[in-house]
């Protein structure tokens, strides 16, 4: 058997080399299908399945809070909620608390640097099962223990030159001194993949509810399931509602660590794309099977002669399947190169800041997947041609000179069925891609609520490092000087500060009270966006004034407290009332509403615009703020000039997130753009393969019907009649495939529900345009063979016959 296998391999190699056109086309189709699937397998396995770098990670869970019926997101807890959960907990071991935030790192003789950080309680690292490279992690949560910091391996190597002397060193974290006590391995990427510094969170006894900044982290006790833990937290949530009427329909969702990292939308998106790329592979297999069937027709006489000379039919099937598998493995090898390039691009681009992207790589598992897929596809597309060839009728084939009518008709029916399936599968992908592209186009039309051209707005986050800036008496003059120097920069028209920016940089959110408003017992207004902004903020961004006035420089600490509300705020909370002159309370401080402005998105373009209220920056000062400047032209070239002017005021100031609003908008839709582009690419490949399939079938049909067409033309058939006949054959197959594809698309596009914006999964325009586009491609693919058919000479054909 081994000797026969080697013979089959040598014969297959010779046969494929003798037919370079067939081999190249087949290998290219398989490389596209297998390469795309291998790359998608690596992404799906790395993000969804590869073991997390934490001890018994499947036993670790994250606890959230959801306390408004309309709120479908996973919210956060306050320290008081955490302590109640911890005191009543029986399902988890040593619950801990954490909060993600940006941190300014300074005090080491280097330029200040802003990194992603987290504030965590003592049990955080032990829950994850993390052992430090050097030093230690946090101990007990005592308020008197002082500020401590644990560094990631990356910042330790980059900023501290991998020196063990970093232990005990004092650094500045957000302007406050902290002592470095340890360094953890680079694989530790929690709560975010870019987290580089963790500081201790002392648990001071809370005197009130809020602020809601935190999430819980805990490890399940032995024998306890996630469902049991969820049931217990639900009971604790009921007790919380009894103690605090503020909470309505409160839930404490418990998610496994991987689900917490992925969020609610990433897993369905990856599975949907994996399904789409699986369809591409199936289309490639069908396409190559079609090529093999056409080639089997050409080799009919060869197969018949081999059978007549004593070759067994099983032996013949094995030899033909060997050819198919060799072809698939060559295609798989080429696909592996494509997969490697695709993974490099995905990791470099990292659309939407994918979590666990560092776990995506081309490893032994991906290689094994490629080999398995190659072997399976080789068998799949080789089975039908192999069995058809092995069933050849020797007498009729040899007498007909290699053209057996019944066998050719059977293969023709099989090839037609394969082309119909190609068209159906391609249409399903085309509809999915159309939905995502329409959804992305809807996102592109969302402005965020401001009218200034995004390319003319430059923004940056300013973090004064010195602790003196925490005092408004030092901080406000600093920002006044920042605005003065920014305003004097050539090309800058207006400069402003604020703690929030569209489309997704919400500075804060909180509830409020309206004077004279009557609420039910225990009821309060919901938490909505709250922004502290300077006088020129609305003018810089082009946020329209609906009523009243904007803030001015006179709205300072010595003036009466004032507020501005959004149009959505006035419509929702003050219906049929005059908003101007009403008083609004935030944290117990009453302010008069002096203006109503247009609605602005602060939580992403895909979210509904929530109501918002604004307070003067000078009356509600915080050290960290965004600078936004409106320029007369493109804003990007002014970045360095503004950076230099601001740091000349104080070299210890940290500047981060320096980008134009155009870049911010593009970044906010990077994940939908990637999804649409990727599915569009898959659909394009599928459409190309389907076009090649229909072209090959019609071209082969024309070649087989040369005599028939010649006779028709000799009897008076016009060239248009011949074109109509050939094109009609392709159109009839396309019509069947389109009907089947539409049925499949109606069923499968439900998987895209969470990926769409402003469009339904049964969008009429998409479901109408995709079949028309498919039919157009089919007609174009059949037109060339149809024209070739009109050039058949009746005289030459009849003479030949």
CB atoms within 10 A of CB 764: 8
Do 504 and 533 belong to one domain?
yes
> Looking at residue 403, what is its pLDDT?
47
Q: What is the mean pLDDT of residues 703-725?
A: 76
The model's confidence at residue 374, banded by pLDDT at 50, 70 and 90, is confident
Asked whether residue 52 is domain-assigned, the answer is no
Characterize the bridge pairing of strands 176-184 and 148-152. Answer: parallel
Long-range contacts of 295-299 (CB under 8 A, 24+ apart): 295/19, 295/22, 295/385, 296/385, 296/388, 296/389, 296/411, 297/407, 297/408, 297/411, 297/700, 298/402, 299/389
Do 301 and 331 belong to one domain?
yes
Highest mean pLDDT out of 298-302, 449-453, 515-519, 608-612: 449-453
> Looking at residue 25, what is its pLDDT?
84
Instruction: Quote the percentage of the chain above a pLDDT of 70.
Output: 90
> Looking at residue 389, what is its pLDDT?
61
Asked whether residue 198 is domain-assigned, the answer is yes
Q: Is the pLDDT of residue 406 over 60?
A: no
**pLDDT tens-digit readout, 104-139:** 998 777 778 899 999 999 889 999 999 999 999 997
**Tokens linked to 346:** 């995905």
Whole-number average pLDDT of the chain: 86
Do 680 and 637 belong to one domain?
no
The model's confidence at residue 228, banded by pLDDT at 50, 70 and 90, is very high
Which has more confidence, 350 or 795?
350
Dmax (CA) of the chain: 108
Whose structure tokens read 């016009």?
718
Do 130 and 248 belong to one domain?
yes
Backbone angles phi, psi at 628, to 5 degrees: -125, 125
Which has more confidence, 501 or 793?
501
**pLDDT tens-digit readout, 660-693:** 999 999 888 888 888 888 888 888 888 888 888 7
The model's confidence at residue 143, banded by pLDDT at 50, 70 and 90, is low
3-class SS string, 641-653: HHHHHHHHHCCCC
Helices 20-44 and 313-349, axial angle in degrees (round to 10): 50
C-alpha 359/C-alpha 355 separation (Å) is 9
| Domain enclosing residue 159, as ranges | 65-252
Which SS3 state, helix, strand or coil, does residue 369 take? helix
The upper half-sphere exposure of residue 421, i.e. CA atoms within 13 Å in the direction of its Cβ, equals 17
Do 504 and 408 belong to one domain?
no
Q: Is the pLDDT of residue 397 over 70?
A: no
Residues 770, 415: contact at Cβ < 8 Å? Answer: no
Q: Which residues are registered as beta bridge partners of 592? A: 562, 583
The strand ranges marked E within 435-544 are 457-463, 492-498, 508-510, 513-514, 528-533
Highest mean pLDDT out of 61-75, 198-212, 761-775: 761-775
**pLDDT tens-digit readout, 468-478:** 898 999 999 99
Do 614 and 683 belong to one domain?
no
Asked whether residue 355 is domain-assigned, the answer is yes
Asked whether residue 59 is domain-assigned, the answer is no
Do 329 and 395 belong to one domain?
yes
Q: Is the pLDDT of residue 344 over 50?
A: yes
Report the b/e string of 210-237 with b at 16+ CB within 10 A: eebbbbbbbbbeeebebeebbebbeebb
Do 302 and 206 belong to one domain?
no
Asked whether residue 56 is domain-assigned, the answer is no
Asked whether residue 157 is domain-assigned, the answer is yes
> Looking at residue 797, what is its pLDDT?
59
> Looking at residue 140, what is its pLDDT?
59
C-alpha 275/C-alpha 263 separation (Å) is 20
Asked whether residue 545 is domain-assigned, the answer is yes
Domain count, the chain: 3
**Burial classification of residue 136, based on how many CB atoms lie within 10 Å of its CB (0-12 exposed, 13-18 middle, 19 or more buried):** middle
> Looking at residue 306, what is its pLDDT?
67
Do 558 and 421 belong to one domain?
no
Asked whether residue 54 is domain-assigned, the answer is no
Mean pLDDT is lowest, of 70-74, 234-238, 490-494, for: 70-74
Q: What is the mean pLDDT of residues 639-658?
A: 92
Do 471 and 416 belong to one domain?
no
Do 164 and 223 belong to one domain?
yes
Which has more confidence, 708 or 259?
259
Report the b/e string of 32-54 with b at 16+ CB within 10 A: bbbbbbbbbbbbbbbbbebebbb
| Domain-ending residue, one of 652, 684, 710 | 652
| Domain-ending residue, one of 193, 218, 252 | 252
Residues 103, 115: contact at Cβ < 8 Å? Answer: yes
Mean pLDDT is lowest, of 110-124, 389-403, 726-740, for: 389-403
Q: What is the mean pLDDT of residues 149-163?
A: 93
| Domain-ending residue, one of 194, 227, 252 | 252
The model's confidence at residue 212, banded by pLDDT at 50, 70 and 90, is confident
Which has more confidence, 392 or 254?
254
Do 276 and 383 belong to one domain?
yes
DSSP 510: E
> Looking at residue 402, what is its pLDDT?
45
> Looking at residue 112, what is its pLDDT?
82
Question: 735 CB contacts (<8 Å, ≥6 apart)?
Answer: 775
């Amino acid at each position: 058997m081994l000797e026969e296998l080697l013979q089959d391999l040598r014969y297959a190699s010779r046969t494929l080399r003798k037919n370079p056109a067939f081999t190249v086309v087949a290998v290219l189709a398989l490389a596209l299908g297998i390469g795309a699937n291998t790359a998608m397998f690596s992404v799906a396995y790395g993000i969804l399945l590869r073991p997390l770098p934490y001890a018994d990670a499947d036993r670790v869970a994250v606890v959230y809070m959801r306390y408004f019926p309309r709120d479908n997101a996973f919210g956060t807890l306050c320290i008081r909620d955490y302590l109640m959960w911890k005191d009543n907990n029986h399902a988890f071991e040593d619950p801990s608390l954490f909060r993600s935030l940006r941190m300014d790192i300074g005090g080491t003789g280097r330029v200040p640097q802003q990194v992603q950080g987290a504030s965590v309680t003592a049990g955080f690292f032990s829950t994850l099962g993390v052992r430090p490279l050097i030093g230690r992690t946090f101990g007990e949560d005592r308020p008197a223990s002082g500020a401590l910091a644990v560094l990631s391996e990356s910042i330790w190597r980059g900023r501290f030159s991998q020196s063990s002397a970093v232990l005990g060193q004092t650094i500045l974290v957000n302007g406050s001194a902290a002592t470095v006590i340890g360094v953890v391995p680079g694989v530790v990427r929690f709560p975010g993949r870019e987290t580089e510094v963790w500081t201790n969170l002392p648990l001071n006894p809370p005197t009130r509810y809020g602020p809601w900044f935190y999430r819980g982290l805990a490890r399940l006790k032995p024998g306890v399931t996630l469902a049991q833990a969820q049931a217990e937290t639900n009971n604790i949530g009921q007790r919380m509602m009894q103690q605090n009427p503020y909470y309505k329909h409160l839930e404490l969702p418990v998610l496994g660590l991987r689900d917490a990292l992925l969020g609610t939308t990433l897993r369905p998106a990856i599975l949907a794309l994996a399904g789409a790329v699986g369809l591409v592979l199936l289309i490639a297999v069908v396409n190559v099977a079609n090529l093999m069937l056409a080639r089997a027709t050409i080799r009919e006489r060869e197969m018949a002669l081999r059978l007549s000379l004593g070759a067994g039919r099983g032996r013949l099937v094995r030899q033909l399947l060997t050819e198919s598998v060799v072809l698939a493995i060559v295609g798989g090898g080429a696909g592996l190169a494509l997969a490697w390039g695709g993974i490099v691009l995905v990791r470099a681009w990292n659309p939407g800041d994918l979590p666990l992207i560092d776990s995506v790589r081309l490893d032994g598992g991906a290689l094994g997947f490629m080999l398995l897929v190659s072997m399976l596809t080789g068998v799949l597309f080789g089975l039908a041609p192999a069995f058809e060839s092995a069933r050849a009728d020797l007498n009729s084939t040899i007498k007909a000179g290699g053209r057996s009518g019944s066998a050719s008709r059977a293969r023709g029916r099989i090839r037609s069925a394969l082309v119909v399936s190609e068209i159906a599968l391609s249409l399903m992908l085309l509809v999915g891609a159309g939905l995502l592209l329409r959804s992305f186009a809807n996102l592109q039309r969302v402005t965020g609520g401001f009218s200034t051209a995004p390319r003319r707005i430059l923004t940056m986050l300013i973090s004064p490092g010195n602790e003196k800036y925490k005092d408004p008496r030092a901080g406000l003059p600093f920002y006044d000087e920042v605005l003065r120097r920014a305003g004097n920069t050539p090309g800058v028209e207006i400069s402003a500060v604020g703690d929030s920016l569209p489309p997704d940089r919400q500075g804060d959110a909180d509830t409020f009270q309206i004077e004279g408003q009557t609420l039910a017992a225990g009821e309060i207004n919901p938490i909505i966006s709250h922004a502290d902004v300077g006088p020129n903020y609305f003018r810089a961004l082009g946020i329209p004034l609906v009523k009243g006035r904007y803030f001015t420089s006179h709205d300072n600490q010595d003036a009466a407290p004032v507020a501005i509300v959004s149009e959505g705020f006035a419509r929702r909370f003050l219906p049929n009332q005059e908003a101007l002159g009403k008083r609004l309370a935030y944290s117990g401080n009453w302010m008069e509403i002096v203006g109503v402005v247009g609605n602005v998105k602060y939580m992403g373009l895909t979210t509904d615009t929530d109501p918002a209220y604004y307070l003067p920056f000078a009356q509600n000062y915080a050290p960290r703020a965004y600078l936004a400047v409106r320029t007369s032209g493109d804003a990007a070239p002014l970045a360095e000039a503004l950076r230099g002017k601001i740091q000349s005021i104080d070299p210890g100031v940290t500047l981060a997130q320096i980008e134009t609003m155009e870049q911010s908008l593009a970044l906010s839709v990077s994940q939908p753009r990637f999804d649409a582009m990727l599915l569009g690419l898959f659909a394009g490949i599928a459409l190309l393969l389907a076009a090649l399939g229909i072209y090959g079938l019609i071209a082969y049909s024309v070649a087989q019907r040369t005599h028939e067409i010649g006779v028709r033309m000799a009897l008076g058939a016009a060239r248009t009649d011949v074109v109509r006949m050939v094109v009609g054959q392709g159109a009839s197959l396309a019509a069947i495939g389109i009907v089947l594809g539409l049925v499949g698309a109606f069923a499968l596009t439900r998987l895209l529900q969470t990926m769409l914006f402003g469009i339904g999964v049964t969008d009429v325009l998409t479901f109408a345009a995709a079949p028309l586009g498919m039919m157009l491609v089919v007609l174009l693919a059949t037109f060339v063979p149809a024209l070739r058919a009109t050039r058949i000479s009746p005289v030459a054909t009849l003479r030949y016959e």
